[in-house]
Structure 1
Amino acid sequence: MTNAAQIKETTVLDIEQVKKKQRIKSFIKGMAFLLPSIILFSVFLFYPMFRTIYLSFFLTKANGDPTVFVGLQNYITMFSSPIFLKSIKSTFLFVLYTVPASVIISLFLSIIANEKLKGIGFFRTMYSSTMGVSVAAASVFWLYLFNPSMGLLNQVLGTFGIEGIGWLTDPKWALISISITTIWMNVGFTFLILLGGLQSIDSSLYESADIEGAGYLYKLRRVTIPMLSPTMFFVITVTIINAFQSFGQIDILTQGGPINETNLIVYSIYREAFANYKFGSASAQAIVLFILILLMTALQFKLGERKVHYQ
């Protein structure tokens, strides 16, 4: 009995050792597959992030090298600056202007484009065409439209006897003008994603609703929107993040003006770092922007995901 127990114990230990070796081999194999991604993320994401956090506690030279440790002084100075506080306000207004409008317009267009009509493929291509336009090209296009003397928008207003608007020079209109440009650029992407979500809805749900005698609006409210909610959740989250990170159209159209009305946080970071050469202060602003995006995304997951209906 003693020998049998010893043999059984030895066998159990051998099996555990074999399993342990297999787990180690699996871990090494998995890390080998992940190694290229880990290297890329480390070089282009983790190192810049930790470097930014580090620089936010220092004053820096013009070349970005840290000089004097100032602790939280960059953050204190930043939040006591009326220009930065205005940047935060403008950024949230910009998000408020662009995100709902982009999603609603794209949803309307995707519902139309999802109908089985003759020649609808042409309109799908037209609606999604803004995806193929770069930010620079789109901004130059809108720069001509917003021109106070030659712009098409003011010419149209003039035909109705309405005085022209300083779209990019009037503080009341500058942020709205940038928002219009951004909405136009975002519609292509959001339209395409929502159209894909609509086409993935099971057609049997509509057939069942037709058998019950449901009308178009009822099917839209009770079938289409609930089934589209996961796609809507994704689109809203991505659009919010992109709105916080908007830069190109602001740099080309207004350069943060007039009177800092369009000086969004991203452009404020750029100007602080590459115009004023204050990399410590710019790094502090970048950390604040990261926290804002993180909080908005977490809030979206906390509140928005409750209304998502998964099939």
Structure 2
Amino acid sequence: MSQLERELLTVRPRLRTMAHSRRRFFGTAWKEQLLGYGFLAPSLVLFGIFLFYPLAKSVYLSLYLTDPRGRIAAFAGFDNYMELLRSGAFYDSLKVTGLFTLYTVPTVIVWGLLLAALTHSRTRGMRFMQLLFSMPVALSVGTASVMWMMMFHPTAGMWNAILEGIGLPPVHWLTDPKWALASVSIMTVWMNIGFTYIVLLSGLKGIPEELYDSAKIDGAGPIRSFLRISLPLLSPTVFFVGIVSVIGAVQSFGQVHILTKGGPMHHTDVVVYSIYQEAFINYRFGTGSARALVLFAIVLLLTVIQYRFFERKVHYQ
């Protein structure tokens, strides 16, 4: 028997073993993939019903004109989008939404960060303060809006009573164009600060205490420790809260609908409320769907911009 034949006799069993192991591996991997998709199937069905189908339906309706009953009347193509881009009211609603986002998002993050830093210590009574600052997260938008509507009441409200008590004239919080958007923004900040506070406090609790002990040994005070240790290590949490807050602010609807209904004089007419008016008040589902898709594109663009420019300053370690 030649040397080549002896080597072939030695290699062939190894090749058969490797081929069997490979078939067994791919068979097991295929079964695991099927099992994984089986577990995901209920969630995929729910996503398909409540997310993907409405999205596809909105794309379809945005290309058509509809009658008051929502039935397809005529094909419009991109005319709904062209009408939207020529509409001054749409740009006004975008401006209002931008101002509302500017008023609420930085304020929520700054106040949430400040409260989380003040109540992060293990001092006696901090548990109660943490519970107190977290309470707004348990309230719905409707409940919070009704509460603040009573506080904003021009004659029986708490805020005007405080102003009168210190000698200042009362303010028409929800009916004065100068104060309406600011009033809704104040209510939104209070409503969202609970979630932001909980997330930021959780991020602070994840920072090792040894770092603060080392900073104390080096002579660093509380403010310097916060700026040099807490804030850099908390940047991933702040980045997450910023993205979620921007998306939530752009999609705000409930508080505007309950408090001002877009008024006075459209000074609180945010984009989502204009979509509601266009689709369910004016029964123009085609243009309403076009507005919704444009808003989706704006939210996607804002998220990409945040990831592109702000993630560079995030320290994950």
TM-score (norm 1): 0.94
- Matched residue, 1:301: 307
1:79-108 deviation digits (Å, cap 9, x = unpaired): 211211110000011000000001101111
- Matched residue, 1:122: 128
The amino acid across from 1:25 in the alignment is K
Q: Does 1:218 align with 2:215?
A: no
- 1-structure distance, mates of 2:12, 2:194: 71
The amino acid across from 2:165 in the alignment is T
- Matched residue, 2:67: 61
In structure 1, stretches of 5+ residues that fail to align are none
- 2-structure distance, mates of 1:140, 1:205: 45
Bigger mean CA deviation after superposition, 46-55 or 28-37: 28-37
Q: How does 1:153-302 map to 2 (within 5 A)?
A: 153-302=159-308
1:13-41 deviation digits (Å, cap 9, x = unpaired): 55544444333323222221221121111
Q: 1:148 to 1:22 in 2, by over 3 A?
A: same
Deviation at 1:67, TM superposition (A): 2.3
Are the aligned partners of 1:78 and 1:84 in contact in 2 as well (CA < 8 Å)? Answer: yes
Are the aligned partners of 1:103 and 1:236 in contact in 2 as well (CA < 8 Å)? Answer: yes
Q: 1:222 to 1:82 in 2, by over 3 A?
A: same
The amino acid across from 1:48 in the alignment is P
Q: 1:201 to 1:13 in 2, by over 3 A?
A: closer
- 2-structure distance, mates of 1:134, 1:18: 53
Which of 27, 46, 68 pairs up with 2:52?
46
- 2-structure distance, mates of 1:42, 1:274: 24
Deviation at 1:303, TM superposition (A): 1.6
Deviation at 1:114, TM superposition (A): 0.8
Q: What is the SS of the residue equivalent to 1:59?
A: strand
Deviation at 1:10, TM superposition (A): 6.1
Q: 1:228 to 1:12 in 2, by over 3 A?
A: closer
The amino acid across from 1:155 in the alignment is A
Q: How many residues align?
A: 311
Q: 1:11 to 1:211 in 2, by over 3 A?
A: closer
Rg larger in 1 or in 2? 2
The amino acid across from 1:58 in the alignment is Y
Q: What is the SS of the residue equivalent to 2:234?
A: helix
TM-score (norm 2): 0.93
Q: Does 1:77 align with 2:77?
A: no
Are the aligned partners of 1:83 and 1:260 in contact in 2 as well (CA < 8 Å)? Answer: no
Deviation at 1:116, TM superposition (A): 2.2
Q: 1:276 to 1:209 in 2, by over 3 A?
A: same
Deviation at 1:12, TM superposition (A): 5.6
Q: 1:20 to 1:80 in 2, by over 3 A?
A: same
In structure 2, stretches of 5+ residues that fail to align are none
Q: 1:12 to 1:192 in 2, by over 3 A?
A: closer
Q: What is the SS of the residue equivalent to 2:298?
A: helix
Are the aligned partners of 1:57 and 1:71 in contact in 2 as well (CA < 8 Å)? Answer: yes
- Matched residue, 1:109: 115
The amino acid across from 2:255 in the alignment is Q
1:47-103 deviation digits (Å, cap 9, x = unpaired): 111111111111112232322111111111112112111100000110000000011
